[in-house]
Amino acid sequence: MTDKRYTEYQEEIEALREKIDEVDERIVSLLARRQELVSRILEIKKKHHLPVYHPAREEDMISIRRSQGQTAGLDPDFVEELYRTVLHQSRVEQTGQMRQKGIKHGAVVLIVGGYGEMGRYFEACFSTAGYSVRLMGKNDWVRAGELCKNVDLAIVSVPIEKTAEIIYALAPHLPDKAVLADITSIKQEPLEAMINAHKGPVIGLHPLFGPTTSSLDKQVVVATAGRDQEACQWLLDQFTAWGAVIVKSSAEEHDDIMAVVQSLRHFATFAFGQFIEQKKMPIGRTLEFSSPIYRLELCMVGRLFAQDAAMYAEIILASQKRRELLKSFIQNINENLDMLEKGDRQRFISEFNKISEWFGPFSEQAIRESSYLIDKLIERF
């Protein structure tokens, strides 16, 4: 290629790049304009205590934008990913501002176990929203009456095995009007203790997130009704204002489901990690041979063992009911020994198909969601 032709090509490319820069500037300006409009909506939401997250609205918007992108000759998946990023950022901005919005002005919040990680997390949430927050630790019981005076909300944030005991010790010091709540990962025993010990409003909460969570955007909080839910509603409204999704449940249903979602899932992960440690499998070397899905699964195993052992012991072994479920799980695994000893492929296929039928349409959803995660993992690593 001659120098003259090369120069012409370069000039043509530079001219197009300038046009691309102009388009990019317009895109950024439009995003800024969009954020201005979102801020105006936020003022209305703050005024009327409306939730940040509107699932139906978001999904309708995504569907429309996918269709619009396809008509314009764009990949619908690309358009969806772009808009989900935009919507996520919008929610984060809104929840960040909503954290400063207190639903019950002038309320006093007491956090028992407030010097723990979750206690400190909620101290920051309520303080930022303008509430007066008091913390109570194990050395503060001599001041229990003083700390409980005129409180509007008392949150018990202590280890599971101490929750009921702390509730019975705390309740006599609370005003009858105060809302009493706990945030443990089991609900039947704490809820029963709160109802028996306290005369006023009672609600059980289980935040399905940890103290390192940067935003409450779309974080789930399970709420189990206790007594006088009308008096407790402001607390749920506060979590909603912060961007959380409230899932209502009975205490019994919560404990049954969480036994699987938390205890069984974490125990199965623990058992897998325990096995490969005992076999001294070289983790780094297995990753060289691994598919993306194996890497993703091993990441979840490694994630468990990067955290606090005592916390997971508390979660996994929290109740006799959970331990019975885990024993049943181990017995179920043992039932497969005969199939393995005989190499019974037909039995495996029969069991596989039966389970596949039981999972039903969720299997297709699982493929879509896991494929998305795998693609992101490949992009990152």
Task: Please list the rounded mean pLDDT of every run of 10 residues in the chain (381 residues).
Answer: 69 90 93 88 76 75 89 90 85 67 90 95 94 96 96 96 96 97 96 97 96 86 97 94 92 95 96 96 90 89 93 91 95 95 96 95 88 80 68
What CA–CA distances, in Å, run from 305 to 72, 156, 266?
47, 27, 10
Please report whether residue 327 resides in a domain: yes
Are 321 and 259 spatial neighbours (Cβ–Cβ below 8 Å)? yes
For the four alpha carbons of 284, 288, 290 and 293, in that order, the dihedral sign comes to: positive
Please report whether residue 90 resides in a domain: yes
Q: Are residues 223 and 135 in the same domain?
A: yes
**CATH number for the domain that contains residue 130:** 3.40.50.720
Cα 161 from Cα 127, distance rounded (Å): 28
What's the angle, vertex CA 309, arms to CA 307 and CA 312, rounded to 5? 90
Please report whether residue 144 resides in a domain: yes
Give the total number of structural domains in the chain: 3
Strand 202-207 with 220-227, pairing: antiparallel
Residue 4 has what pLDDT? 66
Residue 100 has what pLDDT? 60
The residue type found at 189 is: E
CA 348 to chain centroid = 35
Q: Tokens in use for 268?
A: 């199965």
Phi, psi of 227 (to 5 degrees): -145, 140
Please report whether residue 103 resides in a domain: no
Task: Print the domain residue range for 179.
Answer: 108-249
Nearest Cα to Cα of residue 176 among 197, 155, 193: 197
Q: Are residues 227 and 305 in the same domain?
A: no
Q: Are residues 165 and 240 in the same domain?
A: yes
Please report whether residue 28 resides in a domain: yes
**CATH number for the domain that contains residue 85:** 1.20.59.10
Q: Are residues 244 and 121 in the same domain?
A: yes
Burial of 169 (0-12, 13-18, 19+ CB in 10 A): middle
Residue 335 has what pLDDT? 94
